[in-house]
Amino acid sequence: MIQLHPDCLIFQTSKGEQLPCSAEQVTIELMGDAAQFIDPHLVREAAAAVVHYFKTELKRDSVSVQEFAQALEKVLNHLGFEVISTEDNPGQEQRIARSDLRTLATSCDKAFELLFFPRLRAEVKLQLSQSPRIVRFEGLRSCVKQLIGAQRWNDRCQTLNDQIVEYLRECFTAEATTQECGLLVL
């Protein structure tokens, strides 16, 4: 088994997929636009506290995104920030718009990236039209490997991965009509 970086956890998606990821990156994505109003050092410290809790106190390397979000909420509340969770408002749970990047990649057939990015932008518009609290894109790693045709992760995969995330951020910023919406890419 590959040893995780000290600030990483394995995040479990709702579909059972397990993805190693930096807790700081997930924290920033969960916070959405609100992250720009908080000191980046504070965000890093809050994420580090949550990672420490799961790894040291609970002796776990794997958590669900929901568990991480709840623990982060508690930390930020103790630091004096008012955090509203979908757990506190059950009706808001329905305001999570989900998309599968693997499905988008499959629908592009042989055109690969040529059709993928315009379809991705259309998907962002579609999801934002539902006025969600969170727009969640899953399957990034599989999508990248499928678009490139790679069996194993390589530098080319990482480059495309970064391009997709950056493109999603740009589309989200350009299309979002409310600051109460966050973007999560897994």
More confident residue, 148 or 176: 148
5-49 residue pLDDT tens = 667 777 777 777 777 777 766 776 666 656 666 677 777 787 888
Cα separation, 39 vs 74, whole angstroms: 18
Q: Residue 49's CB: how many other CB atoms inside 10 A? A: 17
At residue 161 the predicted structure's pLDDT band, cuts being 50, 70 and 90, is: very high
Q: Output the average pLDDT for the chain.
A: 78
pLDDT tens profile 101-132: 988 888 876 666 778 999 999 999 988 887 78
